Amino acid sequence: MTALQIEQPGRVPYDQAHRRQMELLRKLHKERRADDVCLILEHDPVFTLGRHARPEHVCVSEDFLAERNVELVRVERGGEVTYHGPGQLVCYPMVNLRRAGFSVVDFVSTLEQIMLNVVQRFGIAANRDSRNHGIWCGDRKIGSVGIAVRHGISYHGLALNVNPDLEPFEWINPCGLSGVSVSSMEYECGRELIFDEVQEQMKEKIQMAFARPAPKRKRLSRPERLAKPAWLRQRLPTGPGYEQTRRLLSSSGLHTVCQEARCPNQFECYGKGAATFMLMGESCTRNCGFCNVKHGVTKALDPDEPIRTAAAVAEMGLSYVVLTSVSRDDVSDGGAEHFGRTIAAIRRRCPGCLVEVLIPDFQGSMAALKQLCHFRPAVINHNVETVAALYSEVRPQAIYERSLELLKRVREIDPGIITKSGLMLGLGETREDLLQTMTDIRETGCDLLTLGQYLQPSVKHLPVQRYVPPEEFDNLGGKARELGFAGVAAGPHVRSSYRAGELYRSVQKRNNRQGGNG
């Protein structure tokens, strides 16, 4: 059984509550037997920017906020930008997750469930939304979750809109998502609510949630490792091409996603003198459950990498090249300028070479995306990777809606740039969810789609739930074409940049046909 003490300091400035959290964090770390504690309070008006927040998510100036006595504070929690103020119930559970047996995923889910239980007591039917943590009434958000963990102890927490002034939410993009509306319990139930009554319900539900055995971690099942079916076995190509490509890349000091991600098509592509260059180092700031790229300490961007990449492209004689990168959330623009400098270097060295970029989400930064689009790559590829329902396990530091929005924004910034996305199959998705995700991607205006089999890089990664047979890939490829994708690559061995030039040319053929019919 876990224990939780409650502190209710009333309405306090944000920095006061933060200092108290730090005091409790030190105590819980030092005194491992100390009881967990939850702060339940209101804040003076303040905007907080989480680790992934961008300044442009705040739509008004600092002077505007200062005139209204609203603070703007950068914080350690996950998530984007949110507002706290009078009428909003804020809870900061300081819980030793290791001792309580919670995973981070379970803990966040528990906080969401607490809010769902509270609003239900007041006749409000709310729901979760796989695009973003928190609780919603339809498409209106009424409760947020944003936590941080240090030494295995949680801090920050949840915020439930009881009856706050909702106008400040109009000054931001809540959660970093444009077009999101924010509501309150009072608005949803259509009657006046007494804040203290909601607070008492919250106190009760929190104590109930933590005064019981912690739940077992809910995650994708881990069956015994499935034997690979015959259709996944590949004959390795022969000839000097593979070794020549490998030596060239090794001597250049460049990284390829082919090697770092253990791509099953590496031998084929290297044998044909093709490769996907991975920029900005070999360590990623994210830690997705499917990816074999290293997660850890990153290095400063190499200013000479664009020139060395262009030299390798020239030596390989490529007419079409794919650039990708690790996620670099530690770089202000996510690496957009570095992508651009590499595109420019390739064009100077190889004027006829077309460049496709496979990019991270830049944490939703429109400025970074515009910067990249300025260099006009032939194709911008951003992989949605999996269905929305699996994001918390597969892409815990990403947001489904944000990835869709990125693809849509490319078309708005420059309609001449072809967009592309990809999905992995075999992670536990249902066919219904998969078809919905394909529809969601197509509705952004996306031109190209890749569908491939997920393969578990190691026992530490998410397990394969199912091997999808080739005929099912063929069927799904047909469905994708029916949705309007101009080019589709679907098969067990397909990866994002597999035969990328051929897929690009399928769009060119479509455009030429349409032009000829005009």
The CATH number given to whatever domain includes residue 455 is 3.20.20.70
> In which element (H, E) is residue 10 found?
strand 4-12
Which of the four pLDDT bands, split at 50, 70 and 90, describes residue 52? low
Which of the four pLDDT bands, split at 50, 70 and 90, describes residue 270? very low
Q: Choose the final residue of a domain: 162, 188, 210.
A: 210
CATH code, domain with 68: 3.30.930.10
Number of helices and strands in the chain (H, E): 17, 21
Per-residue pLDDT reduced to its tens digit, 202-256: 998 898 887 644 434 335 555 566 777 877 766 555 455 445 555 555 555 565 5
Residue 263: per-residue pLDDT = 47
Q: Check: CB of residue 233 under 8 Å from CB of residue 267.
A: no
What are residue 36's DSSP bridge partners? 4
341 shares its domain with 461: yes
| Mean pLDDT, rounded, of the chain | 84
Mean pLDDT confidence for 444-466: 91
379 shares its domain with 511: yes
Q: Under 8 Å CB-to-CB from 223, ≥6 apart: which residues? A: 463, 465
Residue 389: per-residue pLDDT = 84
Residue 362 falls within a domain, yes or no? yes
Mean pLDDT confidence for 88-105: 87
Pair of tokens at residue 266 = 């590496």
Residue 292 falls within a domain, yes or no? no
Residue 254: per-residue pLDDT = 61
Residue 172 falls within a domain, yes or no? yes
Pair of tokens at residue 477 = 């490829």
Per-residue pLDDT reduced to its tens digit, 416-433: 999 999 999 999 999 999
Residue 1: per-residue pLDDT = 43
Residue 505: per-residue pLDDT = 84
Phi–psi pair at 79, nearest 5 degrees: 90, -170
Q: pLDDT above 90 covers what percent of the chain?
A: 47
Per-residue pLDDT reduced to its tens digit, 281-332: 888 888 787 887 777 778 889 999 999 999 988 988 888 999 999 888 888 8
- Rounded-to-integer distance, Cα 424 and Cα 407, Å: 18
- CA terminus-to-terminus distance, the chain: 72
Task: Give, in order, the Cα–Cα distances in Å from 201 to each of 88, 250, 308.
Answer: 14, 62, 61
pLDDT higher than 70, residue 446: yes
204 shares its domain with 322: no
Which of the four pLDDT bands, split at 50, 70 and 90, describes residue 33? confident
pLDDT higher than 90, residue 194: yes
pLDDT top residue among 50 and 241: 50
Q: State the pairing for strand pair 379-381/354-358.
A: parallel
Task: Give, in order, the Cα–Cα distances in Å from 47 to each of 60, 82, 94.
Answer: 11, 6, 21
pLDDT top residue among 490 and 234: 490
Q: Choose the final residue of a domain: 164, 186, 210.
A: 210
Residue 116: per-residue pLDDT = 93
Residue 224 falls within a domain, yes or no? no
> In which element (H, E) is residue 310 found?
helix 305-316
- Rounded-to-integer distance, Cα 459 and Cα 473, Å: 26
360 shares its domain with 498: yes
Structurally, the chain folds into a number of domains equal to 2
Pair of tokens at residue 354 = 């077309």
Q: Indicate the range of 91-105, 204-218, 399-413, 433-447 predicted with least confidence.
A: 204-218
> In which element (H, E) is residue 41 found?
strand 36-43
- Rounded-to-integer distance, Cα 57 and Cα 176, Å: 6
pLDDT higher than 80, residue 137: yes
Residue 343: per-residue pLDDT = 97
pLDDT top residue among 179 and 429: 429
Per-residue pLDDT reduced to its tens digit, 108-132: 888 999 999 999 989 998 888 766 7
Owner of token pair 């803990």: 107
pLDDT higher than 90, residue 415: yes
Mean pLDDT confidence for 23-49: 90
Residue 260: per-residue pLDDT = 41
Cα angle, residue 178 at apex, residues 120 and 367 outer, rounded to 5°: 145
206 shares its domain with 334: no
Residue 237 falls within a domain, yes or no? no
pLDDT higher than 70, residue 516: no
Which of the four pLDDT bands, split at 50, 70 and 90, describes residue 497? confident
Torsion of CA 475, 479, 480, 481, to 10 degrees: 100
Residue 130: per-residue pLDDT = 65
192 shares its domain with 340: no
- Rounded-to-integer distance, Cα 272 and Cα 276, Å: 12
Which of the four pLDDT bands, split at 50, 70 and 90, describes residue 179? low
Residue 274 falls within a domain, yes or no? no
Residue 97 falls within a domain, yes or no? yes
Pair of tokens at residue 72 = 């703007």
Report CA 157 to chain centroid distance, whole Å. 20
Q: Choose the final residue of a domain: 167, 193, 210.
A: 210
Contacts 24+ apart (CB under 8 A), 302-306: 305/254, 305/279, 305/280, 305/338, 305/342, 306/338, 306/341, 306/342, 306/344, 306/345, 306/346
How many CA atoms are closer than 13 Å to the CA of 16, on its beta-carbon side?
11
Mean pLDDT confidence for 143-166: 91
pTM for the model stands at 0.58
Residue 296 falls within a domain, yes or no? no
Domain coverage including residue 36 = 4-210
pLDDT top residue among 175 and 215: 175
